[in-house]
Chain A
């Protein structure tokens, strides 16, 4: 899993963040015995506080942290999708009718998720804020309002950027007849 930036320091930070999120996720799930389900936004907020606390890590701003964490979240989700996809193709010996088709249950099929992630990595090379926006909104479930507050911009700007990023992704997923 790549981070957006090539430097060592960032890689180290990134993988520690990944582990951190895993740990937090487990703890959160254990705590919420019988109550709420795992919510990435809560998790990310907690992760931020936790990281700042424990590692004394100095993030220039919360927005950047969230961007990173959201990227990590995407990584987790995509990893999952990848293994699901492999299982389906790899052919388990006996899959009884207890198996249900992925496409029936979620909006976005696993194969598409993988492709979306690739496209986002490419987009991140030219316009990182857009890629980050998709991480926050689609992969982590932040609302337009929350993202606007986080970035200190107006909602209209966020909405516009979202539409751009989405157009980019859609184009990448569904090439037109010209291609």
Chain B
């Protein structure tokens, strides 16, 4: 071999050069030729050529070597309030040390991880700190708490984590000889931890028994939550070529979900899969997937295609008792969690836990093995019936309410009233589930009359009997249609309910039916009537505690009407009133809170107070996830609106992530409905903002096409603006002008002259003129845009467009050398922004304005002030666009900052 044989290599090196320069077909001939003169060399050359090819295939050494960790870590070193005691272990990611607090206040031992600095990457330290901060907020009794994440003075990142002394879960179950139920109960703790983390939008990505420790007292602790993402580790191999390397994987293959293996996006569903595998291992003692290490390509096949044997089958003949126990429901549960398609798995850890709890209580589980009922369910879902799940949501509402009614210690009469309401609600719930899951014949949606007939039959058979009225049933059916987005049917049914309610004496029924109908009518544009109905509804409610729920419902309807009417102020006051009522009432539940939150967020958004809408959106999304509703159309809508608010407050980076989630959710909808053109357009706009022009163009063009197809005029018109900007930024000025002119034609047909929207069109025209070098024309157009926007603002329009126009005008004025005027514009823009954004809110809008201000001041010779403004601008760019955005980087360089 050439290794250790320099003389042989010297003989060979030129031959190797030549052989590599030949086409492959000719190599054999060359080797033959060499064999005659130097047999040893020929053999070695052949081996080297083979090695060359193999090395190329495997991309051997194509990545860089691991970074040397130069700052050394010693025992006795201090790190903030901790002192390092000893090294616990070292891995590829870095080393782990045991440490204790020095201040004697609290003797808890911690583990400190020192990841390799190269894993953090350029400019990543700030992100590491920030994301570490987010992970540290993940507090749960079953999650090993991340206490601190930071970077030392030597730029060495570190993570301080609660030290857990325990054994992995699978070993614990075996060592203690735990029966199936006990093991499941421990597993439920794991699920509760995962639920909490998912609610905070943290995905683990590497769930396996080794990451779940059980302490001596039987307490479960999950480790390394979100650490994979924090360190920017790829959750899946960077390229499938990596899979061909023998024995080297970037993830734990036995627990890898199909999407991790194929490089598709990772989500909470990925964790669910891993949890399914974990449960499989825990209960059966066997692995569902056997990975042949010798042939890693088979890993791909195994994970993506091969359906593992059921747990009960895998257990085999030697434990017939266990086999019997696992067969049936437990098999079904695990199979569902391990579905190849993420959308087929449990929608959330919470629903996974629900089914396990049901199993433990010997109740029927929700997951169904393939059967007629299951197929019907699937069909119903394909008909856009999220209704079965709506039933589930109502169930949670009911149990929530029961709990609080008992706790609140109400007077007897009130309690009875509440229980009657509940009885009604419960009866209706069971009904819904029945109606929509089992009764629906294949493919044909039921007529209302049929539904009603069936409903009445069922009610007569049930004990709750007289407590449920037809009106209640109709209201409930109307709700179902509303959830199904069958707006017309909903309205028809609710009209019936309203008419029948008028014939009764029950104020609660009359109020509810009036308000419910108001909502449906408003959605159809009948605002006047809607307002009347709301007023009527509210009039029927005496101001007593026990009608609180109805009152809340009416306030929500009133808010909805106000929103549709574009009356932001009223919308907010109504919904805040509803929120206050809910908080004080004993009827709080997560569902109620969720629906109010979504209304609150929408009201602020419509009122133009974007930044105030954000906390509500965030909480609503978290609740949706916790309730397992985050893969639905409603969630898609929420994400769209949330992202829009983020965008309008000048947080494009955050907005991009949320839009993307909305698109994922929409695409994953079983009905196969295409993603809304509105959502696509919104997404494209934020992509443009972030400079991802080609991707933005693709999405905007798709939005435009789809909107044209479906006659969605609003989107067609809006996409004009977005495309104009994108083309301009790509330098395709002619195309930009062309689309603006088309937009102009359309808009004039659709909008009255002087409408605020034309400001946007004029602005784009102006900016295109500026790009062409025609400054006078540019300023003329932008002046006109400003007048329109200012006029709209004075007339009390909800969205103030003037800061954007002013900032752009400032930019153009700067370029034209008119710094004084530019300064004025920039200052006014910042003033206006102060009125709508909270003081410390980091926003791209502010960034642009400060940047323009800074440039103007510098041009006027006021360097020091200018510098202050630029520093402010940088702060806002970093917070809203990200540290790596070209604008951020350029500004940082200009200011002479490192990086």
- Measured CB to CB, the residues of A under 8 A from B are 22, 25-26, 29-40, 73-74, 76-77, 79-81, 84, 87-88, 92, 94-109, 113, 116, 119, 122-123, 125-127, 134, 138-139, 141, 160, 163-164, 166-172, 174-176, 178-179
Task: Give residues 246-271 of B contacting A (CB, 8 Å).
Answer: 247-252
Q: Which residues of A contact B580 (CB under 8 A)?
A: none
Query: Is the Cβ of B65 less than 8 Å from the Cβ of A113?
Result: yes
In the bound assembly, the distance between CA atoms of A37 and B155 in angstroms comes to 7
Binary A-proximity of B795-824 (CB < 8 A = 1, otherwise 0):
000000000000000000000000000000
Establish whether residues B52 and A34, one from each chain, have CB atoms under 8 Å apart when the complex forms: no
Q: Which residue of A lies closest to B118 (CB)?
A: A37
- B interface residues with partner A (beta carbon < 8 Å): 1-4, 6-7, 9-10, 13, 16-17, 20-21, 43, 47-52, 54-56, 60-71, 87-93, 96, 111, 113, 117-118, 120-126, 151, 153-156, 161, 164-165, 168, 210-211, 213, 223-224, 233, 242, 245, 247-252, 897-899
Residues on B with beta carbons closer than 8 Å to the beta carbon of A176: 47, 50-51
Which chain B residue lies CB-closest to A103? Answer: B248
Do B117 and A29 have beta carbons less than 8 Å apart? yes
Complex contact B56–A163 (CB within 8 A): yes
B123 adjacent to A107 (CB under 8 Å): no
Known: A35-B899, A122-B4. Is A22-B70 also a contact (CB below 8 A)? Answer: yes
Counting from the closest, the 8 A-B pairs by CB-CB distance are A105-B92, A99-B89, A167-B52, A100-B91, A126-B6, A35-B899, A102-B92, A95-B89
**Nearest CB of chain A from residue B43's CB, rounded to whole Å:** 8
- Between A104, A164, A176, the greatest number of chain B beta carbons within 10 A of the residue's beta carbon is seen for A104
| Cβ-defined partner of B898 (8 Å) among A36, A80, A163, A170 | A36
Which residues from A are CB-within-8-Å of B89?
A: 87, 92, 95-96, 98-99
Evaluate contact between A77 and B3: CB separation under 8 angstroms: no
CA distance A37 to B21 in the complex (A): 39
Are the C-beta atoms of A106 and B92 separated by less than 8 Å? Answer: yes
Chain B positions within 8 Å of A167 at CB level: 16, 48-49, 51-52, 55
Q: Are A108 and B164 in contact (CB under 8 A)?
A: no
Q: List 22 A-B contacts (CB under 8 A).
A: A25-B70, A26-B70, A30-B155, A35-B123, A37-B121, A38-B118, A38-B155, A79-B68, A84-B90, A87-B87, A87-B90, A92-B88, A99-B89, A107-B245, A113-B65, A167-B16, A167-B49, A169-B61, A170-B60, A171-B1, A174-B51, A178-B47
Residues from chain B with a CB closer than 8 A to the CB of A164 are 13, 16-17, 20, 52
A105 to B233, CA, bound (A): 8
B249–A76 touching, CB < 8 Å: no
Cβ of B70 and Cβ of A98 under 8 Å apart? no
Contacts of B63 in A (CB 8 A): 107-108
Which of B52, B54, B88 sits near A94, CB closer than 8 Å?
Answer: B88
Q: Which residues of A contact B9 (CB under 8 A)?
A: 123, 126-127, 168
A160 to chain B, nearest CB (A): 6
CB-nearest residue of chain B relative to A84?
B90
Cα distance A116–B47 in the bound complex, in angstroms: 18
Q: Which residues of B contact A101 (CB under 8 A)?
A: 91-92
Known: A30-B153, A37-B121. A171 touches B88 (CB 8 A): no
B66 pairs with A26, CB closer than 8 A: no
Q: Output the nearest chain B residue to A130 by Cβ-Cβ distance.
A: B13
Given A95-B89, A96-B88, A109-B248, are A36 and B122 also a contact pair (CB < 8 Å)? Answer: yes
- How many contacts between A and B, using CB within 8 angstroms? 212
Known: A38-B118, A73-B68, A127-B9. 16 other contacts (CB 8 A): A22-B70, A33-B153, A34-B125, A36-B122, A37-B117, A40-B67, A80-B68, A87-B87, A97-B213, A105-B233, A107-B245, A160-B17, A163-B20, A170-B51, A178-B47, A179-B1
Residues in B with CB closer than 8 Å to A40 are: 67
Q: What chain B residues lie within 8 Å of A73 (beta carbons)?
A: 68
Among B4, B90, B151, the most chain A Cβ lie within 10 Å of the Cβ of: B90
Q: B17 — which chain A residues lie within 8 A by C-beta?
A: 160, 164
Shortest beta-carbon distance from A93 to chain B in Å: 8
Question: What's the nearest-Cβ distance from chain B to residue A147, in Å?
Answer: 14
Chain B residues lying within 8 Å of A35, measured Cβ to Cβ, are 122-123, 125, 897-899
Contacts of B113 in A (CB 8 A): 98
CB distance from B288 to the nearest CB of A (A): 20
Q: Which residue of the partner chain, among B16, B117, B164, contacts A38 with CB atoms under 8 Å?
A: B117
Q: Which residue of A lies closest to B253 (CB)?
A: A104
Inter-chain contacts of A138 with B (CB < 8 A): 61, 64-65
Chain B residues in 8 Å Cβ range of A29? 70-71, 117, 154-156
B2 cross-chain contacts in A, Cβ below 8 A: 168, 171-172
- Specify which of A74, A84, A94, A170 lies most central, judged by the most chain B CB atoms within 10 Å of its CB: A170
Find chain A residues with CB under 8 A from B61 CB.
107-108, 116, 134, 138, 166, 169
